[in-house]
Structure 1
């Protein structure tokens, strides 16, 4: 831990919150980090009970779509950073086939590089990750990594403050990526399964396929199903691998 970097990052977060007349929380920390590191977008995904993934905050609509794309695809740098408990950086145009579904979406949204930073608490227990998005290729040096880790620690603490359930589990060293989705997605999958008389797993696969093929947010598809605005019938969609 670099105490000077942590202090400088906290000071910046407080300054941003004070200037906006807001409390020190995830939103102000994200805004401070975006400005400090020169990001074009930033998203924070949290993982509750080691399984349920939730987009906790996004700097803008594009960032939210990128976080949701990782949720839909079940792959991406966020999951890798969470599993490996280390910073993961990737160039969208030279990813060597890694995370193909997410990388295709990132490229379509004009993103060139992605840096995922694990959110760690205590003795390195991961509770999620923040993703830094840039529209240009900017290599990370050691100073950048130290600064990003400082913001990662701040975001982890603020995430725990906003979502206490994050600490209600014992899996300190995850070996597999999170399989669950936000509650609204599971609720919609259950409703769709009952309406179409199919297993819940198949209903969830249809939801993911629908969101992927139509470039819609997975949580948006779920809310449309629960509101009765959408009924998923078997069609030509194929769930992303």
Structure 2
């Protein structure tokens, strides 16, 4: 049965959740780094989800590696890192199965010994992790920590889904912007190369009284003869004529 947040949470808590999400939407609209945006997301979630004493955000990279990109306390990062090192744990299972995973230290001792050991080391007794997914692509997981073994119920999970949606938006937007910046940089390099090649053509045309097509052909021949990129041939030619 679908859990309805509105039916089970006090009005005051719904207001807090609404305010936190509005504040978060404003933050995500700013041109922040991914780590700053996810740090803000973790802090916003910690204000709204009552049982969450600490929160971390796991980002799963395209190559399968994972890292903690935001956390409300450095001590819980140790728990995440031990899971990454072991290649298993409730955080990674949530990302792998695309389903929320609730775990206690007692339950996890046999199944995830590295997780249980790290959690016990910092006093964490209960853990809830939900996947951050968009269009069936795993982006990471949002992780809740508590020193109370009975913490986290279906309503915490329902609240958590609101924040995983916000995290999906942040990570997707960052990666889209990152690709755009890479494309712009590539275009800038291409335009710079074109400008150097045109200048080199002009030098050859002036020096040898040849056409633009002949000048370009000479640059290409030089590039092929020495197995060197055309822009490097043009750059070397320009550097040689600029020398005093």
- Identify the TM-score tier after normalising by the shorter chain: 0.5 to 0.7
TM-score of the aligned structures, taking structure 1 as reference length: 0.58
Which residue of structure 1 lines up, in the alignment, with residue 96 of structure 2?
83
Q: Does 1:127 align with 2:139?
A: yes
Q: Distance in 2 between matches of 1:82 and 1:102?
A: 15
Given that residues 55 and 72 in structure 2 are in contact (C-alpha distance below 8 angstroms), is that contact kept between their aligned partners in structure 1? yes
For 2:173, which of 144, 161, 171 is the aligned residue? 161
Which residue of structure 1 lines up, in the alignment, with residue 48 of structure 2?
36
Q: Does 1:12 align with 2:20?
A: yes
Q: Distance in 1 between matches of 2:166 and 2:126?
A: 23
Q: CA RMSD in A?
A: 3.3
Write out per-residue CA displacement over residues 96-128 of structure 1, whole angstroms, 9 at most, x where no aligned residue.
Answer: 511111111111110000101100113x32211
The structure with the largest alpha-carbon Rg is 2
TM-score of the aligned structures, taking structure 2 as reference length: 0.58
For 2:107, which of 78, 94, 99 is the aligned residue? 94
Given that residues 92 and 106 in structure 1 are in contact (C-alpha distance below 8 angstroms), is that contact kept between their aligned partners in structure 2? yes
Alignment length (residue pairs): 164
Structure 2 residue ranges without an equivalent (≥5): 7-13, 180-244
Which residue of structure 1 lines up, in the alignment, with residue 152 of structure 2?
140
Going from structure 1 to structure 2, the CA distance change for 1:126 and 1:68 (only over 3 Å counts) comes to: same
Structure 1 residue ranges without an equivalent (≥5): 168-241
Q: Distance in 2 between matches of 1:143 and 1:117?
A: 13
SS of residue matched to 2:123: coil
Q: Distance in 2 between matches of 1:45 and 1:57?
A: 7
Higher relative contact order (CA closer than 8 Å, sequence separation 6+): 1
Given that residues 105 and 124 in structure 2 are in contact (C-alpha distance below 8 angstroms), is that contact kept between their aligned partners in structure 1? yes
Going from structure 1 to structure 2, the CA distance change for 1:86 and 1:4 (only over 3 Å counts) comes to: same
Q: CA deviation at 1:27?
A: 1.9
Write out per-residue CA displacement over residues 8-60 of structure 1, whole angstroms, 9 at most, x where no aligned residue.
Answer: 746413437879xx879222211111121131211111112151212211111
Which residue of structure 1 lines up, in the alignment, with residue 229 of structure 2?
none
Given that residues 160 and 166 in structure 1 are in contact (C-alpha distance below 8 angstroms), is that contact kept between their aligned partners in structure 2? no
